Amino acid sequence: MGQVRQTRRVQAYDGELGAAVARAQDGDDTAFAVAYRIVQPGLLGYLHGFVGDDAEDVASDAWLVIARDLGRFKGDGAGFRGWTATIARHRALDHLRRQKVRPRPGGTEQDVLDLPGRHSTHEQALESLSTERALELVRGLPRDQAEAVLLRVVVGLDGPAAARVLGKRPGAVRTAAHRGLKRLARQLGVGGETGEGVTDEASRTLGEST
Amino acid sequence: MGERLSGDGVPGRRRAHPGGAVSDPSQVRDAAKLETVLAAVIRAGDLDPEAEQRALVAFRATHGTGAYRARTRRRDDWRPPAERRARRPVKLTFGVVFASLTLGGVAVAAIGSVGSSRDGAGQGTAHPSAVAPDRPGGGTPAASSGRPGPTDRPATAQDTEAHCRAYEQVKDRGKALDARAWQQLVAAAGGKDKVAAYCSEQLARATAAPSRPAGPGNSSEGAAAAGNATGGNTGASGNGTSGNHAGGTDNTDGNGQASDDKGTGKHK
């Protein structure tokens, strides 16, 4: 898993999204709604993993900016997802700054680490994964890993685009996404190291993050 | 966060470890499954219609007015890098061409205005190659040929005069006055608003000394110049020295053949 695969489902809409954005830039509000419905699920998922329960508010803020600045945007469907993610991220950072709330509430890590053993197989672990649980796990990651995973997997950006959104080098983002996914896999009990991997990961994690 | 950021910079043992795991097909499959599941559960399934309406209202508020097209900032340009790069040289080339045309136009305008306002016998007969080498010396042809020459009007005065004439042509054309020559002129005049007065004084002084170059000593130059009359119209270098001498008397005449006849006649 050296290469993070982007969700094909997400990217399948890029052609349609690009066309919708182009029409919206000419003032077509139906096209704007189409673009909204394509982009919003990933954007909202990203924000849920980033700012938690305030995601809807931050997303609303972001869409005001997106609507206002749409005429400035240049690019295709994939570019539009990157552009909107950048705007959403800035709104989220503003929001966090205002709230002085840490994006990651502490103390969840221990609970997270206890869990994998509940499932007998990998399939079960994944299939029973709830949205809340997944978000909890992602938000338990260090922030750079969490953001990298969310942008790559949930928003569906490619490496360079995710790096541009985060203002980092592509290599750093790739590494962060990779580590984040690796860690999630272990916590969920997938990835082939289930049995001994849990305790191993637990001690390593504690050693690293403190 | 912070502690993790520093960790990313170390491509050490731990980074190599997961890389080795790629070869295991079952792990690859698991990883793909994990990503698919994560995307499926974290991507928001049901969207709030009210939120969509708010976004649409905002969109209509800015785009319903029509003709909405703001400048694309760097952060708004998400075209593929190749496309972005390809466009830049076009812009750059256009800018360079435009700048050179503008600057060249100003220069030609300055030269042209100086030439047209003072061309006459002297200029019409002056061959550039005969005059240009003398310019650094500051109006020496007169001295070498033994005539009185413009000893009271050194090279700087001639430059000032030329600038004054050009100034009248370009003063209303935007940035031409930013050029160094104009700044010198303005400095010499003692202020932008005094340039006109300064220049009229300079030009009056220039025309007040008209008859001197018609002296006896310049037959040789006149003869040489007469042979080159058709080339004399090139202007710029010709007007610096010999053009001045005759400027006062033959001022308003056209250039070319007519002035050549006149100049030759006068000299001989």
pLDDT single digits (tens) A157-194: 999 999 999 999 999 999 999 999 999 999 888 754 44
Highest mean pLDDT among A10-14, A21-25, A101-105, B232-236: A21-25
- Are B157 and B209 spatial neighbours (Cβ–Cβ below 8 Å)? no
Which one is predicted more confidently, A199 or A25? A25
pLDDT, position B164: 73
- Rounded to whole angstroms, the Cα distance separating A198 from A114 reads 8
For residue A171, the chain B residue with the least C-alpha distance is B8
**Average pLDDT, stretch A92-115?**
62
For residue A30, the chain B residue with the least C-alpha distance is B56
For residue A48, the chain B residue with the least C-alpha distance is B42
B51 at interface of A, judged by CB pairs closer than 8 A: yes
> Three-class SS of residue B113?
helix
Chain A residues with beta carbon closer than 8 angstroms to that of B49: none
pLDDT, position B204: 78
CA distances in angstroms from A175 to A82, A137, A146, B2, listed in the order given: 19, 18, 12, 15
B58 has a pLDDT exceeding 70: yes
Give the A:B interface size as CB pairs under 8 Å: 203
A51 has a pLDDT exceeding 80: yes
Contact B3 A142 (CB under 8 A): yes
ipTM: 0.75
- Are B161 and B208 spatial neighbours (Cβ–Cβ below 8 Å)? no
- Rounded to whole angstroms, the Cα distance separating B236 from B108 reads 9
Amino acid at B206: A
**Average pLDDT, stretch A51-61?**
93
* Residue B146 pLDDT level (bands cut at 50, 70, 90): very low
B154 has a pLDDT exceeding 70: no
The domain defined by A8-99 folds into Rna Polymerase Sigma Factor; Chain: A (1.10.1740)
Q: How is chain B split into domains, by residue range?
A: 82-118+151-209, 216-244+252-268
Q: Please tell me the pTM assigned to this model.
A: 0.52
pLDDT, position A112: 45
CA angle A105, A106, A111 (to 5 degrees): 110
B137 has a pLDDT exceeding 70: no
Which one is predicted more confidently, B251 or B72? B72
Question: Is the Cα torsion angle B108, B114, B119, B125 positive or negative in sign?
Answer: negative
Rounded mean pLDDT of chain A?
81
Chain B residues with beta carbon closer than 8 angstroms to that of A82: 78
For A60, which of B51, B68, B73 is closest by C-beta distance?
B51
pLDDT, position A76: 93
Rounded mean pLDDT of chain B?
62
**Average pLDDT, stretch B249-261?**
42
SS (H, E, C) chain A: CCCCCCCHHHHCCHHHHHHHHHHHHCCCHHHHHHHHHHHHHHHHHHHHHHHHHHHHHHHHHHHHHHHHHHHHCECCHHHHHHHHHHHHHHHHHHHHHHHCCCCCCCCHHHHHHHCHHHCCCHHHHHHCCCHHHHHHHHHCCCHHHHHHHHHHHHHCCCHHHHHHHHCCCHHHHHHHHHHHHHHHHHHHCCCCCHHHHHHHHHHHHHHHHC
Q: How is chain A split into domains, by residue range?
A: 8-99, 108-209
Which one is predicted more confidently, A165 or B197? A165
Q: Which residues contact B200 (CB under 8 A, 6 or more apart)?
A: none
pLDDT, position B177: 59
Lowest mean pLDDT among A155-164, B115-124, B176-185, B219-228: B219-228
A86 has a pLDDT exceeding 90: yes
Write out the CATH class of domain A108-209. mainly alpha
Chain B residues with beta carbon closer than 8 angstroms to that of A161: 78
pLDDT, position A101: 52
